[in-house]
Amino acid sequence: MKATWKGGNRLRLLVNGEQFFPAVFDAIRQAQREVLIETFILFEDKVGNELRDVLVEAARRGVEVHLLVDGFGSSDLTPEYIGALTSAGVHLRIFGPRRRFLGMRLNLLRRMHRKITVVDARVAFVGGINFSADHLGDYGPEAKQDYSVEVEGPIVEDIHRFTRAAVDPDRGRWFRRRHHAVTTPAPRPVGTADAMFVTRDNHDHPNDIERHYRIALRAARKRVLIANAYFFPGYRLLREMRRAARRGVEVHLILQGEADMAIVKTAAGLLYDHLLRGGVRVHEYCRRPLHGKVATVDDEWATIGSSNLDPLSLALNLEANLSIRDRGFNRELREALDCLIRDDCKEIKAGDVPSQGMWVTVRSFFVFHVLRSFPQWASWLPRHAPRLFTVAASMSGTSGSQRDVGHRQGRDAAEAENGHAA
C-alpha cells in the first residue's frame, strides 16, 4: 500500500497508559461491527485482563473481533486466557510463534512490532503503547513513558484496510474484498489535519519510515525534536541530523537515561561524540524508562508510531507510524516533549563523553561502518518464514502455553511481510 497524505482528520495525543487504555477500551465498548487489534506485547496483568474482558463482551454481542499478537513479545499467554477469548468468538492469531529452547525465545528477528487498534473503520489508534501494565504510572519506577494518537477521518480508511488484511488472512479472497467494500463506508472529513500512514516491511516498504524521517530532516528550518527509546540509526539518518544542525537548525534528541536494557544506553552512547561534534543536542530522560517513538519538525510535521530508530525497527521488524501535518497537534506534542527536557532530562555535554583514546577511535570507526551498511547486511539475514497461526477455541486448552496451540494458515512469510498476513 502506497503511503499518501489525506486531509480532514481529527487527532488526539494520548500520553502513557493513563490516557491510552481508557480511550481504547471505551471505543471497543461502543463498537457495533468490528474491532481489529495488532500488538507486539499482550500480558496477563490488569491491563491485559481488561482488554480480554472488553473483547469478549464485544464478541458476544455480535461484533467481529480480530486480535493479532507477536509470538516473541506475547509468548506467555496461558491456555485459560486464550480460551476465554476464542470461546467467545474472538479471532486470535499469532505472528511467528516458536517453541522455546532451554527457556529462551528464539524468534527475535523480524517481529510484528506494530501497535494498531481500529474500531468500526471509524476510529484508529497508532503508537508505541502495548497492552501491559508497565505503561501505567502505578507500575513503579519501571513504568514506561510513551505515546499514541487517536485519529478519526479519511486516513482511517488506509489504516483499516492495512490492518484488516494483516489480522485476517482470508480477506484476500475476492468475495471478502467485495463484501467488505460494500459494508464499510469511507470515513468523512471531521477535522483539518493531514495524515499519512507509513509502514515498514521486508519486501515492498523496507525503508519507508526511515526515508520519511530523512525527508523531514532535510526540510527542517528551525527546530527538530526526536524522542526515541532505542537509538542506533543508520549512517544516512545520522548524517541528516548533523547536516540540519550545521545549517542552523536546533536538533534535540531525547534518549533513554534510565534504560530498560543496559545495551540500549551503551549503543546510543557510542554515537554521542559524533552527534555533539555535529551540533546535535542530546538529552537523557532520567525519570523512568523512555519507550516513545515520536518526533516533531518545525511547527507542522510530526510522527508517532511503533518504530524505534535502531537496526531492528529500521531493517527487520514490521512497523507502523502515522505522519502528521497539523500545527495544533505539533504544538501539543512539542510542548509535552519540552516538558520532559525541562523537568526530567540531563543534557549531555562534550565534557561528559570520555576522551577519545586509541580504543575508542577504533571502536568508532567500526561502529560507523556497520551503521553505514546495516540495511544492506540486514537483508542478507535468513528470512525464516514466520507464519501466522490461528488459535481455535477447541485447541486453547490442549497445552501449557500459547506457543503450543494453533494451526498454520495457508500464508507464507512473503505474503505476511507484504501486509497480507501481518
**What does the alpha-carbon distance between residue 207 and residue 1 come to, in Å, rounded to a whole number?**
14
Please count the residues of the chain: 422
222 carries an active-site annotation: no
**What does the alpha-carbon distance between residue 128 and residue 46 come to, in Å, rounded to a whole number?**
19
113 carries an active-site annotation: yes
Q: Which of 158, 291, 310, 344 is catalytic?
A: 291
Q: Which of 293, 310, 326, 344 is catalytic?
A: 293
In angstroms and rounded to an integer, the radius of gyration of the C-alpha atoms of the chain is: 21
Q: For residue 5, how many other CB atoms are within 10 A of its CB?
A: 12
**What does the alpha-carbon distance between residue 174 and residue 417 come to, in Å, rounded to a whole number?**
20
135 carries an active-site annotation: no
Q: Which residues contact 241 (CB under 8 A, 6 or more apart)?
A: 217, 224, 251, 253, 275, 278, 280
Number of H helices, E strands in the chain: 13, 17
DSSP 384: -
Q: For residue 60, how many other CB atoms are within 10 A of its CB?
A: 12
DSSP 189: P
Q: For residue 237, how many other CB atoms are within 10 A of its CB?
A: 18
Q: What's the distance, CA 211 to chain centroid?
A: 16
Q: Which of 66, 115, 205, 212 is catalytic?
A: 115
Cα 286-240-212 angle, rounded to 5 deg: 90
Q: What's the distance, CA 337 to chain centroid?
A: 18
6 carries an active-site annotation: no
Q: For residue 137, how many other CB atoms are within 10 A of its CB?
A: 12
120 carries an active-site annotation: yes
293 carries an active-site annotation: yes
**What does the alpha-carbon distance between residue 150 and residue 145 come to, in Å, rounded to a whole number?**
17
Residues with a known catalytic role: 113, 115, 120, 291, 293, 298
